[in-house]
Amino acid sequence: MAAAEASPSPAPAPTAAESVLIIHNVAKRHNIGTMVRSATAFGVSEMVLVGRRDFNAFGSHGSTAHLRFRHFHSLSQARLYLKEERNCDICGVEIVDGAVPITQQPFRRSTAFLLGNEGTGLSAKECEICDFFVYIPQYGCGTASLNVTVAASIVLHHFGAWAGFAERSRNGNKFTVAERPLKQSRRNFCSESVESIIEERRNRREFGLQDMFHERKADHSQETNLLGELFDS
């Protein structure tokens, strides 16, 4: 009788491994505030917002003050930053071919986590920037998937355990909350440099002009078709 194969042991965590949470294409904006709360609880060093800079902080319970935020206009820009400046692996949380159970903690270094849309999961473009995938095993039969905030909490907790994050001190039956920074920007808005804001406004103007051109072109086509029908009748 063949011996059962043992599950692969998690790789030892390198010194000062960090976790990052990528926010992109989250359908329910109020989920982001709850994800921020989980991110601070499980030691995430930075939240990377892709696309919109503003977010709904409902459910964060003030935890936005204890987390760094960074914004990028596209997934490719975010990936470049995470790979070249943060030296992160990018982990997609999705049930796809080759995905590994999160219980195996298949991490090697600092890792950025990307979770899918609540309804459709990770898109093809999102999958393209990922280095590997994990999924969360389920043991009951009553639901097909977890809420995105619950999934984020489970994944981030596993990474923190693997990385050996120090447990926070406790005060009574709760964990100690650090004092808020003295200087705080608007916490439901990811601030950027002046240059990046100018670039975004330029892109909006260009896209706006393109949309206007297409609308006028469509209107002109409709007018041409209408005139053709009048002359043909």
Using CA atoms, how far residue 22 sits from 13, 106, 141, in Å, is 21, 19, 29
Residues 6+ apart with CB under 8 A from 17: 107, 109, 110, 111, 162, 163
Separation CA 191–CA 214 (nearest Å): 32
Q: What ranges do the domains of the chain cover?
A: 19-175, 193-233
What does each of the 233 residues of the chain score in pLDDT, given as a tens digit?
444 444 455 666 666 899 999 988 775 666 778 888 889 989 999 999 998 766 666 555 666 667 888 999 999 999 999 999 999 999 999 999 999 999 999 999 999 999 988 778 899 999 999 999 999 999 999 998 898 899 999 999 999 999 999 998 988 998 888 887 645 444 455 555 445 555 556 655 654 544 444 445 445 555 445 435 444 54
Report residue 122 CA to chain centroid gap: 10
* pTM score above 0.75: no
What CATH number has the domain spanning 19-175? 3.40.1280.10
- Rounded CA separation 67/39 (Å): 8
Sign for the CA dihedral angle at 183, 185, 191, 193 comes to negative
List, in order, residues 6 or more apart from 222 with CB less than 8 Å away: none
Instruction: Calculate ∠ Cα 199-204-208, nearest 5°.
Output: 150
